[in-house]
Amino acid sequence: MFTGLVQTIGIIEHRDRDRLVIYCPDLVANIAIGDSVAVNGVCLTATYISDTNFVADVSPETLGRTNFGDRKLKYVNLETALAVGDKIGGHFVSGHIDGMGKLSDRILLGNSWELSFEAIPEVARYIVFKGSIAINGISLTISYCNDSGTNFRVAVIPHTYDHTTLKDLDIGGSVHLEGDLLGKYVEKFLRSSNISQSSLTPTGVTSAFLAEHGWG
């Protein structure tokens, strides 16, 4: 589990069909073999550690669902796993992305940035106004979205922009997207037709029930 607060930017030193070698000398002291590390929002396991880098194995499934196979990808956001007692400054991020998106526009507003993205339907279903989303592992708040969620915007403060890979994204560049975990559970409850009589309502959790209890 992660929070979406990026700790440093790493550099992909080497990649092949089943592993990544990531240069991050300021982070390796906090990583042990077997630890989970969010790499651009994807939870990977450190299998080897040196003084300056770590190695993470990647499966065909991971390569098929991410842009790690893109040779143009050089810089990645890194975050070590959340420990018991750590502050949660972002939101709960699992490191299991829902799909890909792409940057469609970038506008400078004052000293901050407004970034617009396009999302595939598998991710768009979890995108709601003022909701949370992880973009390349960065916890951000949605400032606008269309009704379907396939187009959305986020406001990015200078610190986040300067200390993550958002500044390196080209228009049309792909990103990893993970919707808010809470939304996935709510969706499952709403769709379930087998809620037991011991659940919150005799007929299951409905949109009306959620609105009545402050979730609408």
Question: Model confidence at 204, in pLDDT bands (50, 70, 90)?
Answer: low
**63-89 core/surface letters (b: 16 or more CB in 10 A; e: else):** eebbbbeeeebebbbbbbebeeeeeee
> Domain 99-183, CATH 3.40.109.10 — does that match?
no
CA atoms within 13 A on the CB side of 104: 11
What integer best gives the mean pLDDT of the chain? 90
> pLDDT by residue (tens digit) across 144-183?
999 999 999 999 999 999 999 999 999 999 999 999 888 8
The pTM of this model reads 0.85
**Which H/E stretch holds residue 167?**
none
Instruction: Give yes or no for residue 213 having a pLDDT over 80.
Output: no
- Give the whole-number percent of the chain exceeding pLDDT 90: 74
What would the pLDDT profile of 44-66 be if each residue is shown by its tens digit? Answer: 999 999 999 999 999 998 998 99
Calculate the CA 11 to chain-centre distance. Answer: 18
Could you tell me which of 155, 156, 135 has the C-alpha nearest to residue 67? 135
| Topology annotation, domain 8-80 | Elongation Factor Tu (Ef-tu); domain 3 (2.40.30)
Provide the pLDDT for residue 107: 97
Q: Which ranges in the chain are annotated with CATH 2.40.30.20?
A: 8-80, 99-183
Task: Name the pLDDT band for 189 (thresholds 50, 70, 90).
Answer: confident
Check residue 186 and give its pLDDT.
80
Helix (H) or strand (E) holding 21: strand 19-23
Confidence of residue 197 (pLDDT cuts 50, 70, 90): very low
Joined together, the tokens standing for residue 26 give 């300021």
**Running DSSP on this structure, what letter comes out for residue 194?**
-
